[in-house]
Amino acid sequence: MSETVVECNYCGCDVWRHDPVFVEEVEDDERVPAGAFCNYACLSSYIDAEGLTIGATCEVPSE
């Protein structure tokens, strides 16, 4: 377990005390940290609270 406290982007708790989920994004072909969350519940709540799915879509390949 890490000694460094990493706060959840949603609730502010130390993620290491739970089942952490880390998110990365790609910028200029490099992965960069984009968030740390206690678990998938905090990540899901953060996505909803920030409206991150509004207008988002991906392409689903047709068979």
- From CA 4, how far away is CA 47, in angstroms rounded? 25
Cα angle 48-25-56, degrees, rounded to a multiple of 5:
45
pTM of the predicted model, to two decimals? 0.80
- Residues with Cβ within 8 Å of residue 8, at least 6 apart in sequence: 14, 15, 18, 36, 37, 38, 42
Q: What is the mean pLDDT of residues 29-56?
A: 95
- Segment 15-34 shows an average pLDDT of 96
pLDDT of 59 reads: 83
Please, what sign has the CA dihedral across residues 31, 35, 40, 4? positive
Alpha-carbon gap, residue 63 to 49, rounded angstroms: 34
Read off the pLDDT band of 57 (50, 70, 90).
confident
What pLDDT was estimated at residue 54?
Answer: 92
